Amino acid sequence: MASRYHTVDGVRVFCSATGQGDPVLLLHGLLMSHRAWDAVLDGLGRRLTVFAPDLPGFGESDRPEHYSYSIDAMACTVAGLMDQLGISRAALVGHSLGGAVALTLAGVNPERISRVAAVAPTIYPAPLPIEARVALLPVVGETLFCRGLSRRGLRRFLRRHVYVDPQLPSDEMLQHYWERLVRPGGRRAVWRTIQTLANLEQTVRVPRRVSCPTLLVWGEEDAMVPVESGRRLEAEIERARLLTLRGAGHCPMEEQAAAFCEAMLPFLCGGER
């Protein structure tokens, strides 16, 4: 698929160059970038105009020290990005952290969001992996996390908690994420985002504010955000439907790309309400 990139106020965004179809923004999760959507970009881009930003602190975007790295701040950043790109209204697809951002933005600015697909969003407080708990230790947590994180440790974390497929992440994708993580400010941006994910009480009220059609997508074997959270969300969002995908963990758009697109396209193109 032809594509181009823009940088808007320090945020790097991938844009499909077809110019056809309604706009959709793809919002990635923690530790990742717009590359997390690689397996589904062609499928979605055939019928939609796709924008995939790197959220602040990740990928090719800036890592500003003054930024709060909260879900509310990221939702505000995405709204500002839409303004700069001339997008008055769009659909959102958000994964994990990006799913929480998408639902938050839909609740705050319902007139701008036509529909939301939330892929295992981090909305409810949940037990954190040991790597995150180390980062939360008082006084020494930041130092232990930022100095102790290694490429091997990143691979181990992703294979243990994120993917079911033992071939994922690929060496190329792991290197992509690692190189961006170790850029100046990268580890600290992740550490500060973990602080946000450790204090999700503020997001518990988000689902009841979402009024647009909502598709909740979960990998049946998700070890990071259990599918029980999806069932709770389905009950709390008035116009929500839960879809689970077999053979997938926390990243179903990578592990079950064809099934993901097959479910996503009718919903995003407005044929399913």
pLDDT, tens digit (0-9, with 9 covering 90-100), for 15-67: 986 657 899 999 999 999 999 999 999 999 989 999 999 999 999 999 999 99
> If residue 99 lies in a helix (H) or strand (E), which one and from where to where?
helix 97-108
How far is 30 from 8, CA to CA, in rounded Å? 21
Q: Of 131-145, 185-199, 232-246, 249-263, which gets the smallest average pLDDT?
A: 131-145
- 155 within a domain of the structure (yes/no): no
Q: What is the pLDDT of residue 236?
A: 95
pLDDT, tens digit (0-9, with 9 covering 90-100), for 166-177: 999 999 999 999
How far is 66 from 138, CA to CA, in rounded Å? 21
3 state SS of 245: strand
Instruction: Specify the CATH number for the domain of residue 19.
Output: 3.40.50.1820
Total domains in the chain come to 1
Q: What is the pLDDT of residue 138?
A: 82
Q: What is the pLDDT of residue 132?
A: 83
How is residue 168 annotated by DSSP?
-
- 177 within a domain of the structure (yes/no): no
pLDDT, tens digit (0-9, with 9 covering 90-100), for 116-163: 999 999 999 888 888 888 888 887 889 998 888 899 999 999 999 999
- DSSP states of 169-186 as a string? S-HHHHHHHHHHHTSTTH
Q: Is the pLDDT of residue 248 over 60?
A: yes
- 240 within a domain of the structure (yes/no): yes
How far is 42 from 258, CA to CA, in rounded Å? 11
- 109 within a domain of the structure (yes/no): yes
pTM across the whole model? 0.95
- 171 within a domain of the structure (yes/no): no
Expressed as residue numbers, the domain containing 46 is 3-126+200-268
> Residue 109 is encoded by which pair of tokens?
């600015």
3 state SS of 98: helix
- 178 within a domain of the structure (yes/no): no
The average pLDDT across 106-123 equals: 97
- 117 within a domain of the structure (yes/no): yes
Query: What angle, rounded to 10 degrees, do the helices at 71-84 and 97-108 form?
Result: 70
Which stretches of 109-221 are DSSP H helices? 130-135, 141-148, 151-157, 171-181, 186-197
- 158 within a domain of the structure (yes/no): no
Q: Which residue has the tokens 């700069």?
A: 84
pLDDT, tens digit (0-9, with 9 covering 90-100), for 79-90: 999 999 999 999
